[in-house]
Amino acid sequence: MSSLTVRAAAKINLRLGVGPVREDGYHPLITVYQAVGVYDDVTVTASPTWDVAVEPVGAVDVSAVPLDETNIAVRAGRLLVTHHGIDAAASIWVAKGIPVAGGMAGGSADAAATLVALDRLWELHTPDDELLSLAAQLGSDVPFALLGGTALGTGRGELVEPVPDAGGWWWVAVPSATGLSTAAVYQEHDRLGLGDRQLVPQGLLDALAAGSVEELGATLANDLERPALSLRPDLAAPHDAGLAAGAVAMLLSGSGPTWLALCRDHEHAHWVREGLVDAGFADAVAAPGPVAGAHVVEYA
């Protein structure tokens, strides 16, 4: 085998409870992740040197993605090589459908996909616990990108365990033309003196298990919504447009600026998307959840 492709999904946080900043600069989280059907496909090919290329899928603006050694996919590849003490490199091709700096963990998806792709390409048989630990070193959301589905996240978000989800949810993601820095939103959270919401969200977990869209809509909550809106007051417009288009509820995705409109079913999602497109949000896209974690889609 000389080349293979791994697909990794975007994530959203159905609940993002943020505690006071830790000594290491990270914030303790209690979060519920869900993988949704917006994807990056990462193709790896054995090569004498590391290189990375990024191709946009649809309207995604990839101009801010670094194409050097700082790219998180290259960092993931190098970490795997160091972990196994082997001498190898690869050419990495990212087909990017996940908005950049959108709060949907696109970089984390690329890191997770690269770990899985190179593990298979080089037949390293890395045990799951080791892959999860390498993932955590690359970023707080990377372990969840390996896992997919719906999961409770604790620690700084890197400790993940699956939770029951009756599934079949539909969302409309509303990306923003300009990204937001995750670190800046957390800093704004601290500056605003926001605080300590460290309870396991039992109502939300019950809604997921029961498959009730009304209960889910009533229990979605993201502590980073206030700081993100404080930095970007213009984000009120897509929020209001989503509700006007008939969304059950609007939820900021992670640290933003992408919004998620919760919909009743597939048909409703198309209807809400059309309302958002008519309101000027042309890049709105319908996506199901939960979907799988990083997985091989093609061998070449």
Residues that bind ligand C5P (CB under 6 A): 26-27, 29, 139-141, 156-157, 182-183, 186
CB 289 within 8 A of CB 265: no
What's the closest the beta carbon of residue 114 comes to ligand C5P, in angstroms?
15
Annotated catalytic sites, by residue? 11, 141
Q: Residue 199 is encoded by which pair of tokens?
A: 């309870």
- Looking at the Cβ atoms of 227 and 288, the one nearer to ligand C5P is 227
What's the closest the beta carbon of residue 101 comes to ligand C5P, in angstroms?
11
What's the closest the beta carbon of residue 145 comes to ligand C5P, in angstroms?
11
For strands 29-47 and 3-18, give the pairing.
antiparallel
- Looking at the Cβ atoms of 71 and 182, the one nearer to ligand C5P is 182
CB 6 within 8 A of CB 294: yes
What's the closest the beta carbon of residue 142 comes to ligand C5P, in angstroms?
8
Beta-carbon-side half-sphere exposure of residue 279 (alpha carbons within 13 Å): 19
Give the residue carrying structure tokens 């400790």: 159
**Burial group, residue 104, by CB count within 10 angstroms (0-12, 13-18, 19+):** buried
- Looking at the Cβ atoms of 139 and 275, the one nearer to ligand C5P is 139
Residue 148 DSSP code = B
Residues 177, 29: Cα–Cα separation, whole Å: 28
Residues 106, 97: Cα–Cα separation, whole Å: 8
- Looking at the Cβ atoms of 186 and 281, the one nearer to ligand C5P is 186
